[in-house]
Amino acid sequence: MSEISKELRTPKVLIGTYLAVSILTVVADIVLQNNPTLVTDAVWIRTIIVALTGALMLSFAVSAARGSARSYLRLRISSGVMVVVIAVILALPGFLPLWVKIEQGICGLLLLGVVVLINGKRVRASFAKG
């Protein structure tokens, strides 16, 4: 196993968890769809976007673990942007129901871990060597 692959093992797990939580949230949307106070149009749009970004970031992480510097850069950008977007969404009063804000908070914490790890000296040094 390469050094890059080892360094990206934990970020891949965090992103996989982010994706799993996101997919479960879309499933919850389906189950709760008859309750318009819990599943609004904004909830549908946001949860589907989060699930899609989770899948995209996981593909970036897998490719980066194989040594792709471009995927590593894409992962750094996308995870950082998503953390900021989630923080903004959590700060908007009344935009999403509490249950989705909690899910977004969990996703934000998972991605914050990814951002910290992939922007750390060890991972950056691994890509500088490769």
Please give the average pLDDT of every successive group of 10 residues along the chain, which has 130 residues. 90 98 98 96 96 98 96 97 97 95 97 97 84
Contact of 60 with 73, CB cutoff 8 Å = no
d(CA 112, CA 125): 20
pTM assigned to the model: 0.93
- What are the structural domain ranges in the chain? 3-129
Q: How many other C-beta atoms can be found within 10 angstroms of the C-beta atom of residue 74?
A: 18
